[in-house]
Structure 1
Amino acid sequence: MPFCAIDFGTSNSAVAVPDGAGAMRLVELEPGQRTMPTAVFYFSEGPHDADGPPRAFGRAAVAAYVEGHDGRLMRSMKSILGSSLIDQTTDVGGGRGARYSDIVAGYLKRLRRLAGEPARAVLGRPVFFVDGEPARDAAAQAQLEACARAVGFTDVQFQYEPIAAAFDFEQQAIREGRGEQIVLVADIGGGTSDFSIVRVGPERAQRLARRDDILASHGVHIAGTDFDRHIELAGLLQAFGYKATGPSGRELPSGLYFDLATWHLINTCYAPLRVAEWRGMKSWFSDVRQHARLMTVLEERLGHELAARAEGAKIAVSGGADTTVDLSHVEAGLVLPLSERTAVDALRADLDRIISTAHETVALAGLAPRQINALYFTGGSTGLRLLVDGMAAGFPRALRVTGDRFASVATGLGLHAQRLFAKA
């Protein structure tokens, strides 16, 4: 029976399938692309087909939004798993509603179709979908499995994403002639920062059972989307009234601003009653320009575009340079500076927590930092120089290796799927 491996990521997804020659390959999910943004755009108009309402996926979904089509862009769907939102219905435009579980299932159905509609799959999962709440964490995996089964998968297995990345590192190390090593895998993506310490090597790679080689796994629900939110709050939304003090001497309410900076909550800011409430709060602002900018965002539904520009600004400063953010679509001539220092200050607490979690993982394995032979970085957020340099500083003896930031997990999941299913 055919099988596949799916890395269903917060920001990007990838799929591996057998190549027919005894190995695995990554599927071309879009023309020339082996990864696809985890994004769905629901069009407000158009007839339903056998798959449901008219939709676009991946880069086409983002393009539909940027081009101004009427509808709803959905991103960061993985963040919904383990929450009560999964069973709720959300407005997707044109008077239509969709359950969040159906949105996740629809995206998985797209991936399954591109993989050739296999019946068996290994799905990656973070070490923790939800921090410190085992019941919700178990519910998140159960919800993801239910979505996978709903679209035709009959055999669904799971593997931790950082362990899958360790398998990818192992193959690379074998090709380079390296022997047995203890590797700390840092998989820092859009929604979670996950760590595993795994013993790898040429002889161990032949085993299907690798439980004894997995020395520790740990994680924290802080990653790229959190970075984007902090950058937006610190670098952009203060020009719209966030943290501003009104004529009364009191700080403006912050709830709306937090929702504007959180992808899956942005749409709640456009509710008519909420917009009307903030329209009537003009006198609360000392700077009426800030109120005018905020109302433009709310009334013209520019929240997702604002979040996208915050993400772009994060990427621009990730290498250590200052940048500017063009917001002329909100107000003519509005360009905001964003310095690396502002970014560092905004992200410091998150970066420190992630680095601390890496060291906690080492302690869970009963090891000292000097016993780690290699650091393997994967996940989109490992492009952030401040984070990678800060983590590497704690392991000065370890070889620093950067994998494919968007495909290492899928490649490793494919290796695991092959071991599970190829001879079944």
Structure 2
Amino acid sequence: MSHSCGVDFGTSNSTVGCIRPGASLLLPLEDGKATLPSVVFFNAEDNTTTFGRAALADYLSGYEGRLMRSMKSLLGTGLMDGQTEVQGRAVPFRELLAQFLRELRLRAEQSAQRQFTHAVFGRPVHFVDDDATADKLAENTLLDLARKAGFADVAFQFEPIAAAFTYESGIQREELVLVIDIGGGTSDFTLVRLSPEGTTKAERHDDILATGGVHIGGTDFDKYLSLAGVMPMLGLGTRLTNNNEVPSSYYFNLATWHTINFAYSQKVWRELQDVYRDAQEREKLARLLKLVDQRDGHWLAQKVEEGKIALSDADAVPLLLDRLAPDLAFTLRRGAFNTAIAHLIESIRTSVSGLLADAGVGVDGVDTVFFTGGSSGVPLLRQEIASMFPAAAHVEGDLFGSIGAGLAIDAARKFS
């Protein structure tokens, strides 16, 4: 019985996989599902901690407490060495991340009925763009957290390469594959030569033509949809009596998953009351004050995320914000969403073009574009990639499971 596993600690969702003859590579972690949302809720009313979907449910039910989501986004930033208040005490972010990884390991062990001491962790091609020192620091931080969570031996694999291993297990001939992995926090790309024979290789360095990535993901799509479509209803872009704009920093924090809690400090509350008194459109600022007072930032972010997902299948989606005002509702439109994220999609396109240039491969040389990652289904992204590779086959993997399954395969190779 192997004691190795693959761990995909994601910005939005996490999975753990291992080789189990006759069974799925991915282990069920919550309610029979293979994904565990990367969420922790500290319930201040009964001094308990919940994870995943249960954590979101407790928060949205109105329990007093602190919700943490998109914790992986802290890696490689100055916030990693900070702390937050949890149940009346200051807790370092490092401790919170280690606690989530420990819970992830324990659930996986319970599901597999074995201990996991060895793990291959997925990592983005770039934790931090254009800063090799900060990127290495982020990897070392994740290594330290994984060991604190109980993994004795830890290796790393680029997430798009892990996804490539999953795709390779089902192909019949050699293919030059471009893996497009759009996760919650990063977009990662790998150009790799895959073949049926490749599944038996322990070392794949010679098959990887190029890797690349950019620090853009699903939470960024959420952020700019919120800023463009929702935050103006709360006063973003409105003016004070002196004709200056209402400061935008409050809205940016509330639109970004891992900084929402920053809006709840006493200092910010006092500032917002001053802003309200000087606002030209007080009814909008009143909604902002109510949102902060009720600590409904994560609820709003959840509503925006749900709207973003719905826009993949519809041109317009109604959004009801009745927690902020009775019958407050408006419509999110795909056209406005596309405009809001156009600069992000252009950055992704530029990164993919750079990857091909590094590999010395033209667009006609790519046989298959393989999509994975929960945010790779955004229609504008698919349209742009399709226009870049009109002759390639376009294959959609398990958007939430390809990486975890590939990491399980890699763990079996590395630690067998």
Pairwise TM-score range, normalised by the shorter structure = over 0.9
Q: Which residue identity lines up with residue 102 of structure 1 in the other structure?
A: E
More deviation, 348-357/216-225 = 348-357
State yes or no: 1:321 paired with 2:322.
no
Across the aligned residues of Structure 1 and Structure 2, the Cα RMSD in angstroms comes to 1.3
Q: Which residue identity lines up with residue 126 of structure 2 in the other structure?
A: F
Given that 1:24 and 1:418 are in contact with CA atoms closer than 8 Å, whether structure 2 keeps it comes out as: no
Q: Which residue identity lines up with residue 274 of structure 2 in the other structure?
A: G
Given that 1:246 and 1:285 are in contact with CA atoms closer than 8 Å, whether structure 2 keeps it comes out as: yes
**Which residue does the alignment assign to 1:109?**
102
CA distance, structure 1, for counterparts of residue 63 and residue 317 of structure 2: 29
CA distance, structure 2, for counterparts of residue 135 and residue 46 of structure 1: 42
**Which residue does the alignment assign to 1:86?**
80
Moved over 3 A (4+): none
Given that 1:252 and 1:284 are in contact with CA atoms closer than 8 Å, whether structure 2 keeps it comes out as: no
Task: Name the CA shift for 1:415/1:24 in 2 (closer, same or farther; >3 Å).
Answer: farther
CA distance, structure 2, for counterparts of residue 58 and residue 35 of structure 1: 9
Secondary structure, counterpart of 1:393 in structure 2 = helix
**For each residue in 1:83-123, what CA deviation from the matched residue of structure 2 results, as whole angstroms up to 9, or x when unmatched?**
2222222112x312321111111111111112223110000
Given that 2:160 and 2:181 are in contact with CA atoms closer than 8 Å, whether structure 1 keeps it comes out as: yes
Secondary structure, counterpart of 2:101 in structure 1 = helix
Provide structure 2 residue ranges, at least 5 long, that are not aligned to the other structure: 110-114
State yes or no: 1:127 paired with 2:108.
no
Displacement, 1:156? 0.2
Displacement, 1:24? 6.4
Displacement, 1:82? 1.2
TM-score by length of 2: 0.96
Secondary structure, counterpart of 1:397 in structure 2 = coil
Q: Which residue identity lines up with residue 12 of structure 1 in the other structure?
A: N
Displacement, 1:250? 2.0
State yes or no: 1:191 paired with 2:189.
no
Displacement, 1:381? 0.4
State yes or no: 1:37 paired with 2:37.
yes
Given that 2:69 and 2:258 are in contact with CA atoms closer than 8 Å, whether structure 1 keeps it comes out as: yes
Given that 1:373 and 1:398 are in contact with CA atoms closer than 8 Å, whether structure 2 keeps it comes out as: yes
Given that 1:320 and 1:340 are in contact with CA atoms closer than 8 Å, whether structure 2 keeps it comes out as: yes
**Which residue does the alignment assign to 1:12?**
13
The count of corresponding residues between Structure 1 and Structure 2 is 410
1:50-89 matches, cutoff 5 A: 54-89=48-83
1:20-419 matches, cutoff 5 A: 20=21, 25-46=25-46, 54-92=48-86, 94-116=87-109, 117-173=115-171, 177=172, 179-419=173-413
Given that 1:259 and 1:265 are in contact with CA atoms closer than 8 Å, whether structure 2 keeps it comes out as: yes
Given that 1:375 and 1:392 are in contact with CA atoms closer than 8 Å, whether structure 2 keeps it comes out as: no
Given that 2:180 and 2:372 are in contact with CA atoms closer than 8 Å, whether structure 1 keeps it comes out as: yes
More deviation, 315-324/182-191 = 315-324
**For each residue in 1:177-225, what CA deviation from the matched residue of structure 2 results, as whole angstroms up to 9, or x when unmatched?**
3x11100000001000000000000122211110000110000001100
Q: Which residue identity lines up with residue 238 of structure 1 in the other structure?
A: P
**Which residue does the alignment assign to 1:51?**
none
Identity of aligned residues (%): 41
CA distance, structure 2, for counterparts of residue 34 and residue 167 of structure 1: 19
CA distance, structure 2, for counterparts of residue 19 and residue 113 of structure 1: 18
TM-score by length of 1: 0.94
Provide structure 1 residue ranges, at least 5 long, that are not aligned to the other structure: 48-53
Given that 2:240 and 2:275 are in contact with CA atoms closer than 8 Å, whether structure 1 keeps it comes out as: no
More deviation, 350-359/373-382 = 350-359
CA distance, structure 2, for counterparts of residue 113 and residue 184 of structure 1: 34
**For each residue in 1:220-242, what CA deviation from the matched residue of structure 2 results, as whole angstroms up to 9, or x when unmatched?**
00110000000111000001110
Secondary structure, counterpart of 1:324 in structure 2 = strand
Displacement, 1:20? 4.7
More deviation, 371-380/256-265 = 256-265
CA distance, structure 1, for counterparts of residue 243 and residue 67 of structure 2: 38
Q: Which residue identity lines up with residue 44 of structure 2 in the other structure?
A: S
